[in-house]
A and B are shown apart, each in its own frame.
Chain A
Amino acid sequence: MLNDDPPPARNSSDQRLDASSRAQKPTTDKPSRSFFTIPPPVKRIFDKFPLVTYAENELPSRAPKERGKHVLHIFTSEEDARKGRPSFNPACVKWQAYMKFNGIDVSVVPSSNHASPSGALPFLLPAVAASAKDPVPSNKLRKWVLSQKGAEKAQESEDIRYEAYASLLDTRIRKAWLFQLYLNPANNALLQRLYIAPCSSNPFVRMTIAYQLRQAAETELVKSSASDRLVEDDIMRDAEGAFEALATLLGEDEWFFGQEQPGLFDASVFAYTHLLLDDGMPWQENKLAEMARRHGSLVRHQERIAMLYF
């Protein structure tokens, strides 16, 4: 900046000449005293800086150590993450299972919605070595998995009824899940343990979070049912029908739609059935599990995946 500022006394033609000459040989500029050179005494002082250079700080102990691996951020506890056990959130379990089906090795990290760029878990941080380094939000995970080289690509079923059966999971069973976990007061303790206690130890903060969670679940249910009366009986009966339909669809096959390999649909079903049927979740009231248990094929499907992949 100093070099570009012309001395104030010269006229404009001089300036231009001067600028061009300086541009050609910037290094051989006269070392002699111009108005803008730093006086030697001052320069000597500044040359002494920095006085001390400290050694680099160590990384915080929580900093990721193996960045050579893909990292999947999900709702889980520290201990479960270390053991690679499934999360307690259906969306996270679904992707965890899908990654395992496709043979993609990821390490799992407990996280919260606030950490996610899209505001929702799960999301994936690709390994440092990978070509794309941006975090992958949950709605792009499938594309990402299919783009991975080492993945054994599980073919998704082309069955024309795929969409219809997928909607059973996304609406009916999800609604019943939301109702059972968030709005059923009997399961309050479980909700506290899973989503509220890890956030804060302050009782007022906890109360607020609990209230917000319940409100969010309620809004979600009201939105989809288009009326502000939520009838538990109806929601549960819809879910019962959904489980029955899924069990019929599975029949005696190993995987849904008669596939050779488990796919995304199996992962989605497993996400709910596992969390409902597994003993790891201390449910107080679990009507959905009773419904699922009535269908042996669904139970066997869940056990098969839990045994083979987790």
Chain B
Amino acid sequence: MQLFVLGPAFGVPSIDAGCNAAIALLQLRRSGEDWQLTPTADDQLQLPLLVDGDARFAGIANICRHLDDGSKALDAKQRADLTAISSFLESNAQTLLDISLYVSYENYSATRSAFTKFLPWYANYMLPPKRRAAARARTEHLGISSIDVDNVHEDMSNRPAGYEGMGKEQQGFEVEAQKRASLLLPRKDTLRSLLQRPERVATFRLHALAENFFAPLQDMLGAKKYLVGSEMTNVDCLAYGYLSLMLYPEVPQDWLASTMRRKYKKLVAYTERIRTELRLQTRVDDVLSFSSCETEADIIGRRKAFDMVLPWSPPAASTLLDVARTITWELMSHVPMLRTSAIIVTLKSSEPTFWQRYLPTLLGVTATSVGVSLYYAFRSGTLIWPHGEAVHIFGRKRFSDYGHLGAALAGISMLSQQATGDSAYHEEVSATLLNVDVTVEGDTAP
């Protein structure tokens, strides 16, 4: 059995919450058995990915289902709680992690350097920005983009006028007037104005978000040892996956961890307890040193030497072809027309209708046949390419239009131009004029 995960960071087995939960789950259900833990950077796999013989299980929910989920010991009510709490964790905790690790610019720099440690060089340019973009998309509706207040490069510059969001600024005339007035009267900060600053408003909203997650979770944990029942269950592993990534990373703005440590001590104790029971402590450098291992014996020896509990193995080797494929795929996803939309895997492959199936072919055939027939028509002379006079000057009257006097004038102008044809402008015009004048004379001669 082999489990593919994103690499370790912050002293936690994986930087991804789902992978973390999967590791905890395998440690709970298959502790001491023969399974391998392989860090990988391939984003095309649906991580965490469990390969058991020929079967592949992608995603934490499928892995839970595949492993014995231990729910037989639980009654129906507890099973329902288990489902509800998992869903609660997945929806709320992910938002908090997104904000804490990716959206906040300062923290993202810490996350990014954690990624750099285990990713191969090319993936560094692809994976972290991609995850950040996804995190921002997920948290956009919360309007906390101005948590990046210190980040001049990203957010403030291209913010549209009248931007409605966090730390909404008063626009327009009043602000201007206030600014000028404040030059005359140095303004003292009132409590209200202090609280209305964008970064404070962001802080309030973040705390509200954190409370909305931690408070119900702590209530559900109560005085019990685990979330559901008296034994450790899948949902505890899932909770660990998220809580550990909130608690352990050392990031510049650690509002999430500090809120947890200050107000939700029970949850901190709970996270610590699962970590010790499943022995999930991870030293990142030890895991990374496996990449130099060659033989099986070497790997086992190294595990012993580092006193490792988790069955880490060397990172999945990627061939040059894989690298090329990944890079091409990534580049393609940034080209507007080539970007592929989401892949939808349905149960029964629905039969595409006649038009859906043949429309591209029909369009192609029509376009080609029209092109070929046009070419042939011109080539064979059936159609003639519309060409007008070789030189055609619009809006100019010919001298011949003025009758005899015009003809006389044409003669004079020709003479005078020949005499004074030295300026650049006249030279230019005369070239065309001469051409036309010849025809003028021809017209008037008969």
A and B are partners in one complex rather than unrelated chains: yes
Say yes or no for A291: interface residue by CB 8 A criterion. no
Does B77 lie within 8 Å of A248, measured CB to CB?
yes
Interface with B: A11-19, A44-52, A215-223, which one?
Answer: A215-223
Measured between C-beta atoms, what is the minimum distance from A188 to chain B in Å? 10
Measured between C-beta atoms, what is the minimum distance from A280 to chain B in Å? 25
A180→B433 CA distance, assembly (Å):
74
Chain A residue with minimal CB distance to B83? A245
Does B345 lie within 8 Å of A233, measured CB to CB?
yes
Known: A160-B219, A160-B220, A163-B88. A242 touches B342 (CB 8 A): no
Please tell me which one of the listed residues A163, A218, A245 contacts residue B341 in the complex, with CB atoms under 8 A apart: A218
Residues of A within 8 A of B341 (CB): 215, 218, 228
Measured between C-beta atoms, what is the minimum distance from B90 to chain A in Å? 7
Say yes or no for B398: interface residue by CB 8 A criterion. no
Does B138 lie within 8 Å of A232, measured CB to CB?
no
The interface residues of chain A, by DSSP majority, are classed as helix
Most central of B61, B219, B344 by chain A CB within 10 Å: B344
Report how many A-B pairs have Cβ atoms within 8 Å.
97
Say yes or no for A171: interface residue by CB 8 A criterion. yes
A226→B87 CA distance, assembly (Å):
15
A215→B341 CA distance, assembly (Å):
9
Known: A167-B92, A168-B84. A234 touches B216 (CB 8 A): no
Does A164 lie within 8 Å of B87, measured CB to CB?
yes
Does A248 lie within 8 Å of B79, measured CB to CB?
yes
Say yes or no for A161: interface residue by CB 8 A criterion. yes
What 0/1 pattern do residues 243 to 255 of A give for CB contact below 8 A with B? Answer: 0111011000000
Known: A160-B220, A248-B77. A168 touches B347 (CB 8 A): no
Residues of A within 8 A of B222 (CB): 160
Please tell me which one of the listed residues B87, B92, B94, B342 contacts residue A230 in the complex, with CB atoms under 8 A apart: B342
Residues of A within 8 A of B87 (CB): 164, 167-168, 171-172, 238, 242
Say yes or no for B46: interface residue by CB 8 A criterion. yes
A228→B134 CA distance, assembly (Å):
11
A207-229: which have CB < 8 Å to B? 215, 218-219, 221-224, 226-229
Residues of B within 8 A of A233 (CB): 345, 347
Say yes or no for A185: interface residue by CB 8 A criterion. yes
Does B346 lie within 8 Å of A232, measured CB to CB?
yes
Does B138 lie within 8 Å of A223, measured CB to CB?
yes
Measured between C-beta atoms, what is the minimum distance from B211 to chain A in Å? 11
Chain B residue with minimal CB distance to A225? B59
B241-260: which have CB < 8 Å to A? none
B291-314: which have CB < 8 Å to A? none
Does B81 lie within 8 Å of A164, measured CB to CB?
yes
Say yes or no for A186: interface residue by CB 8 A criterion. yes
Does B138 lie within 8 Å of A224, measured CB to CB?
yes
Does B216 lie within 8 Å of A248, measured CB to CB?
no
B72-99: which have CB < 8 Å to A? 76-77, 79-81, 83-85, 87-88, 90-92, 94
Please tell me which one of the listed residues A164, A168, A172, A249 contacts residue B216 in the complex, with CB atoms under 8 A apart: A164
Measured between C-beta atoms, what is the minimum distance from B47 to chain A in Å? 9
Known: A185-B350, A223-B137, A232-B347. A249 touches B80 (CB 8 A): yes
Does A230 lie within 8 Å of B88, measured CB to CB?
no
Does A170 lie within 8 Å of B91, measured CB to CB?
yes
Say yes or no for A231: interface residue by CB 8 A criterion. yes
Does B342 lie within 8 Å of A248, measured CB to CB?
no
Say yes or no for B343: interface residue by CB 8 A criterion. yes
A214→B417 CA distance, assembly (Å):
71
Say yes or no for B413: interface residue by CB 8 A criterion. no
Please tell me which one of the listed residues B79, B91, B138 contacts residue A171 in the complex, with CB atoms under 8 A apart: B91
Residues of A within 8 A of B46 (CB): 227, 229
Chain A residue with minimal CB distance to B47? A227
A125-174: which have CB < 8 Å to B? 160-165, 167-168, 170-172
Residues of A within 8 A of B216 (CB): 160-164
Please tell me which one of the listed residues A229, A232, A234 contacts residue B342 in the complex, with CB atoms under 8 A apart: A229
Say yes or no for B62: interface residue by CB 8 A criterion. yes
B198-221: which have CB < 8 Å to A? 212, 216, 219-220
Residues of B within 8 A of A172 (CB): 87
A172→B89 CA distance, assembly (Å):
12
Does B80 lie within 8 Å of A248, measured CB to CB?
yes
Measured between C-beta atoms, what is the minimum distance from B19 to chain A in Å? 12
A248→B219 CA distance, assembly (Å):
20
A227→B341 CA distance, assembly (Å):
11
Pull 15 A–B residue pairs with CB atoms less than 8 Å apart, ordered by A: A161-B84, A161-B216, A163-B216, A165-B84, A167-B87, A218-B341, A219-B137, A226-B138, A229-B46, A229-B345, A230-B345, A233-B345, A237-B61, A237-B65, A244-B80
Given contacts A164-B88, A167-B87, 13 further A-B contacts (CB under 8 A): A160-B222, A161-B81, A164-B84, A164-B85, A165-B84, A168-B83, A218-B342, A229-B345, A230-B343, A230-B345, A238-B87, A244-B79, A248-B80
- Residues of A whose CB lies within 8 Å of any CB of B are 160-165, 167-168, 170-172, 183-186, 215, 218-219, 221-224, 226-234, 236-238, 241-242, 244-246, 248-249
